Every structure is written in structure tokens, then in C-alpha cells.
């Protein structure tokens, strides 16, 4: 059974072609794995260059390695393709396909910021199509994925459930004498048992200062007063939900409890402000300014949230910064957008949620209580 309906793919292609018509684009090259998947239903790593060509009319054409032809045919909603053997140059084939769809002397759109379209590949393509005008569609392609369909939200809800249940198990397993690596092992096994795509958990480490979020697990036993930081990032059919919680080993200090309460209250206010039409910079300021004013951090160098959705397992980017909450963010929230909203304090604690912006306001897809946990407790 296909992951998405034909109507959903028709809608995606239709919205792309509306943007193409507005810019007089004859064909679009989609080569980042996330974009290929969005328009075709098929995803594959980039051992060799591959791309989907979407012409202004007719079926897209997939340029795909011969070895990957059958997986493509099983996953995609169309069959039009050009396959290549490993010794063939797929950029040459891309140029041939663009000629075949009538775009060789027209305007061709692509993402100039694509991690697949290297400078050397682009120069080669320009040389093969000297009469073509290439147009940067970076401001069009990724934003098409921002508003999630009901089916996409269903997939993120399943990922959020995996995150919640795995968080419960990992906190319960963090008993005295156990390490952050042990908690990571439990979370990873939980991912696989519950149906996640794979067992990569996200950062699990000991929280110190505020910039510990991307630390590594260790074999060192957790000591009284240590704060176990857990960020879980399960993917379900590529769709990711994310969740951060802290768990302290032993009795938390009054100062730590107070810091957690302040940080949670600020994040509550921030999430409540995530309404359709809200300016992102204003939403960001609630937490950014509040955390500094209340002494939770000396400054706020990072963003307070970013886009969530589909991530390919082997892509170089582990986070999607198509839309980011910063003090200068001037974009507006829209119903259907999904975000990872996160914060941390110098006390060594961090909290985050997966948030779905609906017509009626924000909806938390992650359900774990937002509080300071005790290591080893049954969350």
C-alpha cells in the first residue's frame, strides 16, 4: 500500500507547477533526497547522482541507478524513468532528459543550495546545456513541504508516540550505577521494537551549562546530582518527531527545581503563542528574552525552534532549518506547519516538544509531561 494517495501527489506536483508557471520554468530538477521523496514517493542515498525531473506537463522522469530501478518502481507513483549503469555519467543523462522534455533552450529550475548539486556538477550541466537559463528555486522548493497534510501529521503522531514511550523506558532504566550509554541502549532498542525506521536515538548525555545538547553518551556511571539529558528523534517512514527531557540522579536541588519551573513556564507561553499568522520573531522573543531576563542563561546564541517533517536517514542535514525561530525571523506561522521547539538553561536542563500549528492553535504531538524527572522513576 502506498504511503500517500495519488491525490496527495497530484496536489504536490500541482503546487510546484503553479510556482513554475509564475516564473516561466519549463522543468525542475529535484535532487535532494527529501525533495525526490516528496514529489515521487521514492528515496535513495546519493552513492551516485540521481534526480527527478518535473516538466511543466506530463509525468516526472526519474534518473535512477539501474541497481535501484526495482525499489523505485515499487515506491513511486509513476514509472517514467531513465536508468544508468555505474560507469555511465548521470549528469549527461540528466541533460539528455531535459532535452527530451523540451527544456534545453528554456528556463530550468533547481535548488542552488542543494547538497547534491555540487559546483562541479553544475558547471558540467551548464556546459552540456549552453542555451539553458538556470533559475534558483531555493525559495520555492523547500517551503512547499512546510504545511503538512493530514496523512503526514498521522505519521508524525506515530513518531511522537515512539518518542514518548521510549522516553519513559529510558528514564526508568537510568538507575544508580547506570550510564548515559545504558539509557541510550534502552531508547535505541525501544525505537526498533516500537516500529521506528532505525535505532538512532539522538543525543543522550550529561547536561552541564546550556550548550550540552549535542553531547555524546559515555560509560561513566551517573552520579548524584548529574542531569541526564535525553533528546529522542525517532523517524517513522521518514517522518520525525522530537522530544527532550532532563532527569536528575538523586534529589534535585531547590535551585534546579526553580530553574526548571521558570523554563517550563516560558516555554508554555511560547507554545501558546504559536497561532496561525503569528510573527516568528515575536514567538521567539517570549522564550529568548525571558530566559535571559530571568537569569536562566547569560545570553541566547541559538534558535528556539525549527521545522520538523520528513528526513532521509542518510542525508547530511539532521535538522531542517527551512523556517527557524530567531529574534530577526519575520515569517508568519501557518496552519499545518510542524516544529521542534526547544530550550535549555545554564543549570544543565533542556525541554522540547513537537508542535503542530492548527487553525485552532498549537497542538503538542509529544505527550510526555514537561517536568524535571528523577532518574529511575516510572515516568
Q: pLDDT by residue (tens digit) across 240-255?
A: 999 999 999 999 999 9
What pTM does this model have? 0.95
pLDDT value at residue 175 = 92
Q: Element (H or E) spanning 240, and its range? A: strand 239-240
- Across 110-119, 218-227, 276-285, least confident range: 218-227
Q: How far is CA 143 from CA 43, 59, 88, 89, 305, in A?
A: 19, 22, 33, 31, 16
pLDDT value at residue 196 = 98
pLDDT value at residue 126 = 97
Query: What would the mean pLDDT of 192-205 be, rounded to a whole number?
Result: 95
pLDDT value at residue 313 = 84
Check residues 363 and 346 and name the one with the higher pLDDT: 363
Q: How far is CA 275 from CA 44, 298, 335, 341, 358, in A?
A: 36, 29, 8, 14, 8
pLDDT value at residue 217 = 77
Quickly state the pLDDT bin for 16 (edges 50, 70, 90).
very high
Quickly state the pLDDT bin for 211 (edges 50, 70, 90).
low
Contact (Cβ atoms closer than 8 angstroms) between residue 232 and residue 190? no
Residues 6+ apart with CB under 8 A from 75: 40, 41, 42, 43
Quickly state the pLDDT bin for 219 (edges 50, 70, 90).
confident
Which cell is 197 given? Answer: 525506521
- Distance from chain centroid for Cα 84: 30
Residue spans per domain, the chain: 6-145, 150-374
pLDDT above 90 for 317: no
For residues 119 and 134, give the distance between their C-alpha atoms in angstroms, rounded to a whole number: 13
pLDDT value at residue 152 = 98
Q: pLDDT by residue (tens digit) across 144-178?
A: 999 999 999 999 999 999 999 999 999 999 999 89
Q: Element (H or E) spanning 181, and its range? A: helix 180-194
Q: What percent of the chain has pLDDT over 70?
A: 97
Quickly state the pLDDT bin for 367 (edges 50, 70, 90).
very high
pLDDT value at residue 168 = 98
pLDDT value at residue 208 = 66
Q: pLDDT by residue (tens digit) across 264-299?
A: 999 999 999 999 999 999 999 999 999 999 999 999
Residues 6+ apart with CB under 8 A from 308: 156, 240, 241, 242, 320, 338, 339, 340, 354
Tell me the torsion sign for CA atoms 271, 273, 279, 283.
negative
pLDDT value at residue 364 = 98
For residues 330 and 342, give the distance between their C-alpha atoms in angstroms, rounded to a whole number: 19
- Distance from chain centroid for Cα 232: 13
For residues 37 and 42, give the distance between their C-alpha atoms in angstroms, rounded to a whole number: 5
pLDDT above 60 for 209: no
Tell me the torsion sign for CA atoms 258, 260, 261, 266.
positive
Quick one: fold of 150-374? Answer: Creatine Amidinohydrolase (3.90.230)
Superfamily of domain 6-145: Creatinase/prolidase N-terminal domain (3.40.350.10)
Q: What percent of the chain has pLDDT over 90?
A: 90
pLDDT value at residue 379 = 60
Amino acid at each position: 500500500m502506498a504511503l500517500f494517495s495519488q491525490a496527495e501527489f497530484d496536489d504536490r506536483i500541482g503546487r510546484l507547477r503553479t510556482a513554475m508557471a509564475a516564473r516561466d520554468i519549463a522543468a525542475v530538477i529535484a535532487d535532494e533526497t527529501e525533495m525526490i521523496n516528496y514529489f515521487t514517493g521514492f528515496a535513495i542515498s546519493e552513492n551516485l547522482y540521481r534526480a527527478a525531473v518535473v516538466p511543466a506537463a506530463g509525468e516526472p522522469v526519474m534518473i535512477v541507478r539501474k541497481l535501484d530501478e526495482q525499489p523505485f518502481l515499487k515506491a513511486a507513483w509513476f514509472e517514467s524513468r531513465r536508468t544508468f549503469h555505474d560507469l555511465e555519467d548521470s549528469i549527461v543523462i540528466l541533460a539528455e532528459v531535459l532535452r527530451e522534455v523540451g527544456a534545453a533552450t528554456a528556463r530550468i529550475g533547481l535548488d542552488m543550495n542543494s547538497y547534491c548539486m555540487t559546483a562541479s556538477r553544475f558547471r558540467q550541466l551548464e556546459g552540456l546545456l549552453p542555451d539553458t537559463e538556470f533559475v534558483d528555486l531555493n525559495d520555492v522548493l523547500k517551503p512547499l513541504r512546510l504545511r503538512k497534510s493530514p496523512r503526514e501529521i498521522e505519521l508524525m503522531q506515530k513518531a511522537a508516540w515512539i518518542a514518548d514511550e521510549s522516553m519513559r523506558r529510558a528514564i526508568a532504566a537510568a538507575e544508580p550505577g547506570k550510564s548515559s550509554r545504558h539509557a541510550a541502549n534502552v531508547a535505541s532498542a525501544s525505537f526498533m521494537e516500537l516500529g521506528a525506521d532505525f535505532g538512532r536515538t539522538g543525543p543522550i548525555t550529561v547536561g552541564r551549562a546550556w550548550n550540552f545538547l549535542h553531547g555524546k553518551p559515555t560509560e561513566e556511571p551517573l552520579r548524584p546530582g548529574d542531569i541526564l539529558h535525553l533528546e529522542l528523534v525517532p523517524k517513522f517512514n521518514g517522518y520525525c518527531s522530537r522530544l527532550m527531557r532532563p532527569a536528575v540522579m538523586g534529589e534535585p536541588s531547590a535551585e534546579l527545581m526553580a530553574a526548571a519551573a521558570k523554563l517550563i513556564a516560558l516555554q508554555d507561553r511560547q507554545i501558546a503563542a504559536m497561532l496561525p499568522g503569528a510573527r516568528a520573531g515575536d514567538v521567539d522573543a517570549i522564550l529568548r528574552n525571558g530566559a535571559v531576563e530571568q537569569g536562566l542563561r547569560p545570553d541566547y546564541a541559538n534558535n528556539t525552534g525549527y521545522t520538523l517533517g520528513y528526513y532521509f536517514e542518510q542525508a547530511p542535514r539532521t535538522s531542517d532549518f527551512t523556517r527557524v525561530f530567531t529574534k530577526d525571523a519575520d515569517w508568519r506561522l501557518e496552519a499545518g506547519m510542524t516544529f521542534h521547539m526547544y530550550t535549555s538553561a545554564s543549570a544543565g536542563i533542556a525541554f522540547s516538544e513537537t508542535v503542530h500549528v492548527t487553525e485552532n492553535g498549537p497542538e503538542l504531538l509529544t505527550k510526555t509531561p514537561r517536568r524535571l524527572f528523577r532518574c529511575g522513576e516510572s515516568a
